[in-house]
Structure formats: structure tokens, C-alpha cells
Structure 1
């Protein structure tokens, strides 16, 4: 391993440690000691990367959300009309969350324990996803029945998030793939395709 890779590797380990600790104890009961134990790093290493437990949770949320968006982007082939790829893209997106149940709770519930800071992080991430949807729908080469507004793209994100949240609350994360069809129906209904 190259010496310059160590800080990046340590940061990743701290984020993984945070995910595991929060999944076991919830954010409120998780301590820095729990995080560093799960990450197999020192407290000093933790504080080299994050000034607080809250900052670490926001970083985990943003990193996991970035990875989920990458899965969604990678599932879309720009050579084809987006309308024909909705189900495949949502299956990949929901499947990536289903495969990482430790992160799902963090992404949808624990981030809210941070109050305004958590809501701001959630809003930033949702805005990036909504912008991706806008670019796919309004920038596509295929037929358009109308231009999708920013508010309606946000509504798509919010609707899909609520479907996922319901499954989390019902302890059905391992069945997130069941949401592909209702989420696809929502996208098609709002985009009128």
C-alpha cells in the first residue's frame, strides 16, 4: 500500500465503523469509543478525520448516498431512451440498498437525529438525486410529453424515499426489490410516460 493511501483507508474504516456502531446501538447511544472499536482505529485517527460524531455521520450519509447515486447512474445507458430503463435503474438502486442493510437505516432514519444539520445533509443529497432525474428526463433524446419541473423531480425522490422508509419501519429491508414496480409506476405517472 502506498503511504498516501493510509489516510483514505483510515477514513473509510472510520465510516464503516460508524455504520456498524449505529446499526447496533442507534446514533444517540453510539459513542466515539464504539466507532473506533468497530473501525479498529485509535481515537486520534478518528479525530484526524472528523471533529465530532455528528460530522462523521454526515460524511457516512453523503458517501453512502454518493455510492447509491453512482449505482443509479451506472444503470442508465445514455444511448437508449430513459423511459425504457426506469425499472432496471430502480432495481439496481433498490438492490444496492437491499444488499447494504447496515447503511439503509443510517440513510433514512439516523441522519434525522442530527436535527437541522441532518436535514440539511438530507436536502443536499435529495437535491443531487432530483437534479439527476431532471437531467435524464429533460435532457433525453426521446419523445417528451412535457418538461419535468424541479418540484416534481423532488416529489419523485420524496415518494421513493417514503416507500423505502415504510419498508425500514416494517423491518422489510431485505425485500426492497418489491418496491421496483410501485417506484417505477410513480416515475411514469409523474413524468407522464
Structure 2
């Protein structure tokens, strides 16, 4: 499996002149190796093989660079999950496909996943909007995935509310974070997460 730096470098910095991408790849690499708290702007610049001047031309601070990285990280995750779900499959299969895609991506990027869930929450007002926007994006994805003919046929026309989608997102992110923190593989939670989502979606209010 490719390293975090290799994956992010290929996706974000295919063009050597794409300094923003190189900086994001460097931050991702540093988070994976030493964690966000021990990463400095100097570390990011060194890994990106560029200068502080270039860094500050793109980001006002280390926190702003992190916000950009986590935004891109979650955009990729949402795209990965949406691509994994077959809208024509039985709805329980679709739930499992979505959960397994979440698990697979989070397992590939354990350090970034934990940074997103734990570190950004501890940064306070400077990234509060990131947590809110990320939650809303995942909730909207769930609502979209459940807005299919297959789903409507089995739910009696019920729709997944924003509140219900947020409950699903919150439970899954916390389960993911505690599993990473325990050092266990995320595949350990796949079945429990899928079953919980299925039960919750079966009991949608009228």
C-alpha cells in the first residue's frame, strides 16, 4: 500500500508547481508520522521542499492549512462512499457498501481520520465551522444515498431527516475514533456499524 505522502502527493501535487498540493501532502505526511500537535510550519515547508514565503502565500497559519487538508480529505471520503454504493441493490446491501467504504478509507488514512475527529475538535473557534460543515456534508450524503426508488419502496415513502442523518454520522465517527485510538483494525467495527445503521433506518418516524 502506498504511503500517505505518496497518495496525497500523487493526488494533490501531480504538478510540481502546485505548491498548495505539495504543502497539503507534506502536512498529511507529518500528521501520519508525528501527529498534528508536533507538526510545525517549518516541518511542513521542509517536507514540501519549499519556503515559508510560499507557505504563507497559500495559508495564513498552520490551522488554515489543516482546515484545507481535512476539507479535501472528507471530500475524497464522500466521493469514495458514493461511488461504492449501488443504488439498484437491496437497501441493506447499500448500507453495508457505504459502511465498508467508510471503513476502508478510514483504515487507509488512520492518522488523518483521527486528526479530523479529535484534533480539529480541540482547536476551538478557529475550526468550528469545519466540524459543522463536515457533519452537514456527510449528513447530506446519507440523505442523497437514501433518496432512491429502492429506499422509498421499503420505507413506505419515508425520508431520512437531517437530524437522523447527523445521528448516524456522529455515532460512526465516534466509533471510528475510539477504534483507532485502541489500535484495533477498523474492520472490527464494520458489522456492528452496519447493523446499527440498518436498525436506525428501519425505525424512521412517520
TM-score, with length taken from structure 2: 0.82
- Give distance in 2, aligned partners of 1:50 and 1:118: 14
Query: Cα deviations across residues 75-126 of structure 1 (Å, max 9, x unaligned)?
Result: 0123334432211221122111111223222222221232123232012111
Aligned residue number for residue 190 of structure 2: 180
Q: Find 2:29's aligned residue among 20, 25, 28.
A: 20
User: Do 1:23 and 1:102's aligned partners in 2 also have CA atoms closer than 8 Å?
Assistant: yes
Give, in whole Å, the separation in 2 of the partners of 1:117 and 1:189: 36
What count of residue pairs does the alignment treat as equivalent? 186
Partner of residue 141 from structure 1, selected from 130, 149, 153: 149
Task: With a CA cutoff of 8 Å and minimum separation of 6, indicate the structure with the bigger relative contact order.
Answer: 1
Measured in 2, the distance between the counterparts of 1:26 and 1:96 equals: 19
User: Are positions 1:11 and 2:23 aligned together?
Assistant: no
Q: CA deviation at 1:190?
A: 1.1
Identify which of 88, 95, 118 aligns with 2:97.
88
Once the two structures are superposed, residues 54-80 of structure 1 have per-residue CA deviations (whole angstroms, 9 ceiling, x without a partner) of: 100000111101111111000012333
Query: Does the C-alpha gap of structure 1 residues 26 and 102 become closer, same or farther in structure 2, counting only changes over 3 Å?
Result: closer
Root-mean-square deviation (Å): 2.0
Q: Matches of residues 1-193 of structure 1 in structure 2 within 5 Å?
A: 5-7=15-17, 9-137=18-146, 139-142=147-150, 143=153, 144-145=155-156, 146-172=158-184, 175-192=185-202
Say if 1:17 and 1:35, in contact at 8 Å, map to a contact too.
Answer: yes
For structure 1, the 5+ residue unaligned runs are: none
The CA deviation string for residues 118-149 of structure 1, in whole angstroms up to 9 with x for no partner, is 23201211111101111222x21022143322
**Which ranges of structure 2 fall in alignment gaps of 5 or more residues?**
1-14
Contact 1:76/1:89 (8 A) holds in 2:
yes
Distance across 2 between alignment mates of 1:10 and 1:178: 38
Q: Is the 8 A contact 1:81 1:140 kept in 2?
A: no
